[in-house]
Amino acid sequence: MEGILPIYKETGMTSHDVVFKLRKILHTKKVGHAGTLDPNVDGVLPIAIGKATKSIEFLQDAGKVYTGTITLGFSTTTEDLDGEVVEEVTQLDPLSVEMIDQGLAKLEGDIIQIPPMFSAVKVNGRRLYDYARAGETVERPKRDATIYEFKRTSEPIFDAMTQTQTFAFKAVVSKGTYIRTLAVDFGKQFALPSVMSQLTRQSAGGFTLAESHSLADVATEMEKTGNIDDWLLPIDRAVAQYPSVALPDDIWQFVKNGVGLPADLYPKKSERIVITHNREVKSVFEWSDRKQQYRPYRTFKNE
């Protein structure tokens, strides 16, 4: 069993839970996920099976698309609804549509984020959420992120009873982006506490919700047919963001065991290229400034 399986992760379970369950359902240990989803977030979770696990880093490199809601009026320890309330306003002046749109637009582009304490980022060998649960604070590393699109998708709703304002959004972002932190940073522009109140990942690794399968569906298919071969997608999808170079037999035989591509025949066209032979993806090569040629970076198949 080998390939990529886009899974629809429901709320209430971790990404590791999905991997654990799939190992049992598929009767195989070589299963990994690309891009952690928090328990309270649902959506696309790309799963790699068998040799396709070598493609996980490329799946993670691809951008992601989210839809969700931001609520103004209070903040929490986790920057979403799972945490304890740490600040709230007693009288909220609702933001106008124009103010919301301008605030979202200001967060588009290249930004620097500080990961939330309740996150899986490691500092000195420990996850940040381990520090947070122990009541400890630690300096968090800054991270670069790119927000390609951050747009409002609904009319804002003001709740006079709770003194909160909520609106829906769509965000197209680079890897490593924390949407929770985006929600908090949005509120900070107006000196307002805020949280990410709902989130769904619509796309990840180039896969969408429309082509994703639930764990229940996978289990049913395995019971009916004993396999999910028709659902497994090729490694090609994981590296579709790179230019593809088809090698003839003589060149493939020359480079398949770790030799670089002849620079006179294959000059630099991008940092990475996908090597194919007989219409099959074989490996990813990366440009070496020192060697002035493409060198093997990750090999999927060398036969």
The residue among 279, 210, 242 whose CA lies nearest residue 55 is 242
For residues 18-42, average pLDDT: 92
Which region among 87-91, 106-110, 142-146, 163-167 has the lowest average model confidence (pLDDT)?
142-146
Distance, in Å, from the CA atom of 295 to the CA atom of 181, rounded to the nearest integer, reads 38
For residue 270, report the phi and psi dihedrals to the nearest 5 degrees. Answer: -165, 170
SS3 string of 260-291? CCCCCCCCCCCCEEEEEECCEEEEEEEEECCC
Report residue 272 as tokens. Answer: 């990475």
Confidence of residue 175 (pLDDT cuts 50, 70, 90): confident
SS3 92: coil
The predicted structure's pLDDT at residue 7: 96
pLDDT tens digits, 69-90: 999 999 998 899 988 898 999 9
Distance, in Å, from the CA atom of 17 to the CA atom of 259, rounded to the nearest integer, reads 40
Which region among 115-119, 179-183, 286-290 has the lowest average model confidence (pLDDT)?
115-119
**Residues that are catalytic:** 38
For residues 13-29, average pLDDT: 94
Question: Of all helices (H) and strands (E), which one includes residue 187?
Answer: helix 179-188
Q: Is the pLDDT of residue 35 over 90?
A: no
Q: Is the pLDDT of residue 116 over 70?
A: no
Report residue 263 as tokens. Answer: 């620079």
For residues 124-144, average pLDDT: 74
Higher pLDDT, 134 or 286: 286
Instruction: Work out the percent of the chain whose per-residue pLDDT is above 70.
Output: 95
Report residue 228 as tokens. Answer: 């999910």
Confidence of residue 130 (pLDDT cuts 50, 70, 90): confident
Query: 166: which strand partners?
Result: 71, 157
- pTM of the full predicted structure? 0.87
For residues 178-188, average pLDDT: 93
Higher pLDDT, 93 or 136: 93
Which region among 95-104, 117-126, 209-218, 261-270 has the lowest average model confidence (pLDDT)?
117-126
